[in-house]
């Protein structure tokens, strides 16, 4: 049975605190707070911070436009439609298009829900409902099991890199760089995803610095793919015999560089890290 993912657990915790905020009277309409929490939980802290900033900007913009419409324009279908168009256009002009969604949600919550309520008070409360949801999601993302997630990323990165090098070693042993090339490409893509998440997460972790060895190690992996690609293209040319391939100066250039990279200290230093 598949385990419950960390992001799922964090979402549940965020929803709990969002509901608790309503119970304690911090927010008035928990549905907005809870909804924002659900959509604001991200895998890495960098994504969480970027998403939080985007949602805060969108919430403030939507709250402002919602207040202006609620004050000066009587609520109706046409005015709400025009307001949404204006908000999306403003977000594009201000180059914060990623904030348009939450801005429109905040705006429509005010525009369609204000009724006979005092526009300023209602607008502030709906904006606060949304902002609290964003902040709860950010705090949960930063606080819950980040060390465990970081360890998971390290383990996954090292496991994927091991598979990556096993494919390369197999290619070298069989002197065949074409049959497994697509498999190697896919494994490198997977390695790149873990690498990117590690860099993002390490910048917000307790560790003093992102280890230089990680950058160098990934750089070696990338160079290896480049040289294997060169050999892959040579294999596809269908030389008449093996000697014809081995005597090709391009072939020698790529194989010699692969040998140097595999024995590189950059690889040894990274593989010897106590992770």
Task: Categorize the per-residue pLDDT at 146 as very low, low, confident or very high, splitting at 50, 70 and 90.
Answer: low
Model pLDDT for residues 93-127, shown as the tens digit of each residue: 988 898 999 899 889 988 888 777 788 888 888 88
- Look over the chain and give the mean of its residue pLDDT values, rounded to a whole number: 83
So what's the pLDDT on residue 141?
82
| Count of C-beta atoms within a 10 Å radius of residue 29 | 15
Structural contact between residues 45 and 146, judged by C-beta atoms closer than 8 angstroms: yes
Of residues 200, 167, 213, the one with CA closest to residue 186:
167
Over 90: is that where the pLDDT of 200 sits?
A: no
So what's the pLDDT on residue 114?
75
Report which of residues 40 and 192 the model is more confident about: 192
Return the structure tokens found at 32. 């907005």
Model pLDDT for residues 218-263, shown as the tens digit of each residue: 999 999 999 999 888 887 766 545 555 555 788 888 988 998 888 8
Of residues 7, 1, 274, the one with CA closest to residue 141:
7
How far apart (Å, rounded) are the C-alpha atoms in residues 13 and 136?
9
String of DSSP letters for 128-182: HHHHHHHHHHHHHHHHSSHHHHHHHHHHHHHHHHHHHHHHHHHHHHHT--STTHH
Over 90: is that where the pLDDT of 163 sits?
A: yes
Task: Categorize the per-residue pLDDT at 142 as very low, low, confident or very high, splitting at 50, 70 and 90.
Answer: confident
Sign of the C-alpha dihedral, residues 59, 60, 64, 70?
Answer: positive
Alpha helices in the chain (DSSP H): 6-23, 30-40, 45-72, 77-93, 100-113, 119-143, 146-174, 181-202, 212-236, 242-246, 249-262, 265-271
Alpha-carbon Rg for the chain, nearest whole angstrom, is 27
Would the pTM count as exceeding 0.85?
no
So what's the pLDDT on residue 70?
86
Report which of residues 11 and 46 the model is more confident about: 11
How far apart (Å, rounded) are the C-alpha atoms in residues 25 and 188?
50
Domain coordinates in residue numbering, the chain: 6-143, 146-271
């Amino acid at each position: 049975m598949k385990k419950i993912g960390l992001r799922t657990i964090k979402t549940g915790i965020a929803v709990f605190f969002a509901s608790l905020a309503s119970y304690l009277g911090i927010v008035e309409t928990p549905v907005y707070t809870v909804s924002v929490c659900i959509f604001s939980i991200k895998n890495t802290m960098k994504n969480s911070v970027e998403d939080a900033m985007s949602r805060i900007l969108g919430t403030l913009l939507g709250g402002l436009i919602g207040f202006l419409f609620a004050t000066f324009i009587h609520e109706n279908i046409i005015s709400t439609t025009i307001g949404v168009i204006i908000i999306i256009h403003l977000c594009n002009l201000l180059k914060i298009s990623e904030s348009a969604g939450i801005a429109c949600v905040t705006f429509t919550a005010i525009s369609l829900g204000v009724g006979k309520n005092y526009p300023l008070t209602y607008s502030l409360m709906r904006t606060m409902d949304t902002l609290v949801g964003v902040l709860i999601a950010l705090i949960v993302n930063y606080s819950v099991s980040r060390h465990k997630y970081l360890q998971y990323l390290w383990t996954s990165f090292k496991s994927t890199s091991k598979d990556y090098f096993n494919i390369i070693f197999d290619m070298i042993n069989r002197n065949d760089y074409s049959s497994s090339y697509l498999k190697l490409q896919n494994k490198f893509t997977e390695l790149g995803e873990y690498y990117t998440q590690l860099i993002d997460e390490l910048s917000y972790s307790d560790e003093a610095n992102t280890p230089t060895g990680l950058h160098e190690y990934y750089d070696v992996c990338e160079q290896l793919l480049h040289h294997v690609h060169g050999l892959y293209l040579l294999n596809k040319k269908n030389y008449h015999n093996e000697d014809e391939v081995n005597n090709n100066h391009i072939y020698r250039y790529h194989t010699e560089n692969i040998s140097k990279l595999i024995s590189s200290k950059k690889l040894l230093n990274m593989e010897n890290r106590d992770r």
